[in-house]
Structures are given as C-alpha cells and as structure tokens.
A = this chain, B = another copy of it.
Amino acid sequence: MEDQFDSSQVIMEVRAKVAAKPKATIADVARLAGVSTATAGRVLGGYGYTSGSKKDQVMKAAEKLGYKPNALARSLITGKTRTIGVVAGDIRNPFYAFVLRGISNIAEKEGFGLLITNSDESFEQETRAVDLLVEKQVDGLIVSPCDTRDSAHLRALHASGTPLVLIDRAVEGLEIDRVGTANVSAAREAVQRLIQAGHRRIGLVAELVEEAEGGVVSFIARAQAGEPVESAALYPSWQRLLGYVQAHLVARVPVDPTLVLRAGEYSAEAAERACLALLQRDDRPSAVFTTDGTMSEGAMAAIAKLGLSIPTQLSMIGFDDLDWMAFLPPGISTVAQPRMAMGEAAARMLLEQISGADIPPRTVLMPASLVERGSVSAPDTSLR
C-alpha cells in the first residue's frame, strides 16, 4: 500500500526553486566588487568617471555573476527605450517584408530594437497597435497608415511630440517625415511604355479602396479633364491610376473606364477574379498594368488560368519586382520600388528625429524604375 504522503506541496517548492533565477543586479555586482552601486553603474553603463582599478573589480564581479543590464530600469529613468515601433499592413506581403528588413538593417546597426505589428489595413487594429507601442514607450514609430484622411490617432501622436515617420502612404494635412514612391510618374511611364508599343486598350488592375469622392469613374473623368488632382495624400493605388490616366492624356488616347478594375479587396484572389472577368470579354484589352505586387500576382494567376501567352496574346507590366517575374517566361516587365531602401530611409529619418535633430518635415519620394523584360510587345493585330 502506498503511503499517504502528499507530494504536491514538495513538488511546488522544487518547481519554485527551479524557476527561481536570481538575476544579478547592479547592487549585487557592487557588493561583490566592494564599491557603491553608483560606481558599478558608471562602469557597467559606461558613463561618468571611473578609475581603472575599480573598473577591473566591477567588470570581474559582473562577469562572475553573469550580470546583464535591465533595459527596463534604464529606460524608465533615461526616458529612452532604444526601441522603435512599426505598424505594417501584413508581414507576409513582400513589400512590407522588404521594408521591414530595411528598417531592421538600420535599427540593428544603431542598437535599436524593433517592435513590429500588423494592421491588416484595418483602422481599428492600427489604432490598437499604435496604443500598444506607445504604452511600451517606443522612442518613435514608423507607420503605414491605412486611413489617409482622418487618422486622428496619428495626428495626436505627432502633436504629443512622438517621433513619427509615415511609409508608403501619407495622411492629408499631416506634415511630417514620410517616405513613399513617386507613384504617379512611375505608373505614367509604365503605361506610356505600353502605349508606345502600340497598345490602345490597356487594362488596369488595382486595389482602389473606395475613397475618392464619386468613385473611380468620376475620378477618371476629372483627371482626364485635366483638372489638377491633389495627389499627395492619395492612396498609392489611386496615384497609380492617376498616372495611368495621365499617360493616356499625354498620348491623346481615350480612357475606357470599364478597363479599370477595382479588386475592391486587397488580395490576389480578388484581383484574379476581377481580371478573369476582364480577360474573358470580347473586347478584352491588349495589355494590362497592375498597380502592386498582390494585384500582379492575381492578374498572373488569371492569365495562366486562361492560358493566354505573354506577350503575343497579352502584354503586361506589373508593379513591385517579385521573384517570379524574373524567371516566368518570357520575363515580366515591372515597376520596381526600392522597398528595402525605403525602409532604410524611413528608419534613418526616424532616428534623426529621435536624436533630437529639429528638421522640417521631409517627404522622400523614391524613384521606381521600370525594369524591362519580355512581357511587352506590339498588340496582336488580329484582335479587334
């Protein structure tokens, strides 16, 4: 028969003992080294004056105890965390992945940590993310805002003096450092290339979340009428649409609004569905231009599904230089954004703000380059 000894209490104690990890503090090190905490702190923290002899003692003691500084306590008093927060749309999207990598490059070099969150392009999630980061006292934020109009939380943030850099998108009337792409001109040049190759009916596959008053048709009409459009605070996909219209305008080619596709939702599947419908029309376009990586992916899926051959049956220019564009025969021409450099630029600007430099708001618009491969040729004359 087993004895009645209840082992749970003992086990709890053992566990507690195992779990106990008496991290060494500066006070411990100081005690062992026989100096004051202030002196130990000066040695370990590398500030103030310290003599060689004491320095040795302290270092030795720290080594012995396996001392690791507690950044929390340090930050609490210095008011600096050496951490920057980032709100991206979705890390899985190569655009953000590369931007993040760029930010990370700079952060790492400067010894900063990186607190990363996803907004999924949802305003509510973005707000929550910003709150989280602010509570964690990040020294600054890099945000890809999902709302380019209101974004009261970002205005408040900036007003409170928190270093803040916007990436990819701007916020209307919020004049702060930001880095983006020269979308209008990049898109214009790409579409011009298509027109120059002889195309007159060019499809556009774009995300185009509803925000321009009057919708796409009215937007196109206004742009086509040569009305000056305030494009700076537009969503990138709208800016690229603007470039598309401008290219037509310059070449005096009319825009057929039925050729511009709103995926409506930001996913390759949505783009594929929309594109599939477009390419099955009798009067289908002889070329397509897509306004970002995700749209390019969706469009490509649709093209593959229909078995259309590029460029003989359909010319195409994509956006963002995705890996497959290089080797998918015949090579997909595309507008390449310097994604990683954008992240690096944003991080550098943020660090400048953090270090206290008082610089007027800068807008860095990076040039996107058209990398030409084999997906553009003259339109198939047998068509229409």
Contact = CB atoms under 8 A, between A and B. Distances in A.
B304 A329 contact: yes
Contacts of A90: 101
Given A71-B135, A161-B19, A329-B304, A117 B104 contact: yes
Q: Counting chain B CB atoms within 10 Å of each CB, which of A20, A23, A131, A323 scores highest?
A: A323
A324 interface: yes
A134 B91 CA distance: 24
Nearest to A296: B323
Contacts of A113: 115, 117, 132-133, 136
A129 to B, nearest CB: 8
A71 B136 contact: yes
Interface string A275-301: 000000000000000000000010011
Contact of A114 (B117, B135, B301): B117
A328 B324 contact: yes
A116 interface: yes
Contacts of A252: none
A135 B68 contact: yes
Contacts of A115: 83, 113-116
A227 interface: no
Question: Looking at chain A, what size class is its interface with the partner chain?
Answer: 35 or more
A230 interface: no
Interface string A10-38: 00000100111101000000000000000
Given A114-B115, A118-B101, A323-B297, A136 B83 contact: yes
Contacts of A49: none
A98 B81 CA distance: 28
Contacts of A268: 323
Contact of A92 (B72, B73, B97, B132): B97
A71 B137 contact: yes
Nearest to A160: B21
Contacts of A116: 100, 104, 114-116
Contact of A104 (B19, B91, B108, B328): B91
Interface in A82-103: 83, 90-92, 94, 97-98, 100-101
A72 B68 contact: no
B134 A68 contact: yes
Contacts of A312: none
A81 B72 contact: yes
B94 A92 contact: yes
Q: Counting chain B CB atoms within 10 Å of each CB, which of A19, A75, A305, A340 scores highest?
A: A75
A72 B100 CA distance: 25
A326 interface: yes
A257 interface: no
Contact of A18 (B83, B92, B114, B161): B161
A98 B108 contact: no
Contacts of A133: 113
Contact of A328 (B111, B137, B328): B328
Interface string A131-169: 111111100000000000000000000001110000000
Given A72-B76, A108-B117, A305-B327, 9 more contacts: A19-B161, A23-B160, A68-B134, A113-B132, A113-B136, A297-B327, A300-B327, A322-B323, A328-B328
